[in-house]
A and B are shown apart, each in its own frame.
Chain A
Amino acid sequence: MKPFLGPLEHGRIPALQQTRVSAFLISAHGALTRQLGVAIPASLHHGWQVELHSQYCREMEILSLLGRATSWVPDPALGFRIWQWELAWLPRPVTGVEDRSQGVLIDLAAFGHALHTVIRPAALLPEGFPDEDPFALAMRRIEFESGRLMQAQILFLKGPQLAPVRDVVASAVETRHAQVRELWQNLLYSMEIDSSSRHTLMPAYQARTQPVPAAATQPGVAVREP
């Protein structure tokens, strides 16, 4: 098991790995986009709904980006996986709250929170991988945007309106986290990647005598907005 995608083929992430990662992201972000499209009312009444609308638009950008930045190849193993993923993303309204619509919203927010926090696609890129590669830049942009997009879910899930059912909310989010994490890890294992092994890398402070990779590009720098 290794912490990063690769080994590189002609200086690029192998097309099969690109295909698998992007297929997962399109499946999950696509499901979130569809659910957001249904959940956002025609006229907005709360601040967090504005955030959700913004997220809806950003999610569509992510889908478009993934479709174009990925080097796609046929992958027979994806058929079963996509079916498994799509089933997992189906809405599961949370029980134990005032009404069903609130339960649907909590589940939607929990799913979005899990998607934007558990999945760190840019953390899979080998250290020092060039910024100008479209797939790499797409991964960095998606992860960077996720840090902002999750704020909509945090605003809603931690907001005062859900304070009385905080335990129910926390439990729903933990459940979605576990689900997304398991599916994502399974996909990574299929490529012999264990993302948790990144924690065993030596801190740079102790690397004075070790060879240093070419300038490790920083997610958030290349795509940092003005």
Chain B
Amino acid sequence: MPWLDCNSRRIHYELAGPPNGPAYVLVNGLTQYVRLWQPFRDALVAKGFQVVSYDMLGQGQSDKPSLFIHQDDQVAVLGRLIETLGDRPIFVAGISFGGVVALRYAIDHGDKITGLVPMSSFAEIPAQLFMLGNALRTGLILGGTSFLQDLLFPMNFSSDWLDSMRHLIDLARHRGWLANDVYALQNLMESFLEFEPLTDQLSAIRAPTMILTGEYDFLTPRPLQESLRAHIPDSALVIIPRAYHAFTLEKPGLTAYLATRFAEEVMADRWRGKGSIWVGPENVGGELTPFPEGFDHMRAIPVQTSKPDRASQQKKATAS
């Protein structure tokens, strides 16, 4: 079992796939641990990538600082891990909390990675997310990890998936409860208390970037992804149909397909982000569809984007 030393902390990580292939580094979400990436990881390995997954500080088998976890330390761990991969194409994909860590790394060290995939991620914490985060933290404090999971399950997954997993939900909650320590989760959540928006720094990200968001993600809703698209120069936004927040778990094959396709386009120099907006396929192997022109991708109903406002045109005409 490989371990990485970073600033006197021990980090647990796993490698899978060909050692000389292009690498994909996967950065966990809040309550995630290495083994939860397995189906996603296996799909990438099948396409010839070496996949690096690891437990962040405070997660799984990595060290769990007792009182304070700084996000700078998380970025340092990711950087240290990337250093060990040597000179080859390196892609970084992070989900939710992990997406923030990946974004921060890409802002400072974008030249060291070939591509970036923030998934269900964010660069700022508007009131809605702030209050949700606070409520989740209170839930953790009062009800423990199990209660936090009770809150997260319906936020993260679709009803269809939860129905299909109904017989395993108790086990999933138990395994999640075993893997996570309350104090460590609390420290991870409290590392956002000093969070400063990254929005103004996103333009420093030079790496090609594919932003993935779930169609129905209400934990980190589309305005947060739109902010990434609007500020990261070579980015494209891909909306995954019928997906919620944790689509790497609910749709690992489809998400891995999109990640593979992105990496292949970047390595073949075919990637053109251009701030474009796409609707992802329903199934592995399907095509991406450009978001219908003339419609507003920020709305949940098919509202046409505003054309030159008729009232203001009339006003101008009257004035002249």
Instruction: Write the residues of chain A forming the contact surface with B, with a CB cutoff of 8 angstroms.
Output: 113-114, 116-117, 120, 123, 127, 144, 146-148, 150-151, 154, 157-158, 166, 169-170, 173-174, 177, 196, 198-208, 212-213, 215-221, 224
Contacts and interface: CB of A to CB of B under 8 A. Distances in A.
Given A116-B183, A204-B169, 6 more contacts: A114-B66, A117-B181, A150-B183, A201-B175, A207-B168, A218-B174
Contact of B183 (A117, A206, A224): A117
Nearest to B62: A199
A201 B36 CA distance: 11
Interface string B246-279: 0001000000000000000000000000000000
A127 B168 CA distance: 13
B136 interface: no
Contacts of A174: 65-66
B156 to A, nearest CB: 12
5 contacts: A123-B178, A203-B172, A205-B36, A205-B249, A221-B146
Contacts of A213: 171
Contacts of A206: 35, 38-39
A154 B178 CA distance: 22
Contact of A212 (B141, B143, B167, B182): B167
B147 A208 contact: no
Contact of B144 (A117, A127, A147, A207): A147
Contacts of A154: 67, 183, 186
B66 A173 contact: yes
B147 A169 contact: no
Interface string B158-182: 0000000101111111110111011
Contacts of B39: 205-206
B171 A216 contact: yes
B interface, size bucket? 35 or more
Given A120-B181, A173-B66, A218-B173, A204 B168 contact: yes
Given A203-B35, A224-B147, A212 B168 contact: yes
Interface in B52-68: 60-61, 65-68
Given A196-B61, A199-B60, A220 B38 contact: no
Contacts of B142: 148
B141 A148 contact: yes
Contact of A204 (B143, B146, B175, B182): B175
Nearest to A158: B67
A219 B171 contact: no
A150 B172 contact: no
A204 B66 contact: no
B33 interface: yes
A206 to B, nearest CB: 6
B145 interface: yes
Interface string B61-78: 100011110000000000
Contact of A205 (B67, B168, B179, B181): B168
A221 B146 CA distance: 7
Interface string B121-147: 000000000000000000011111111
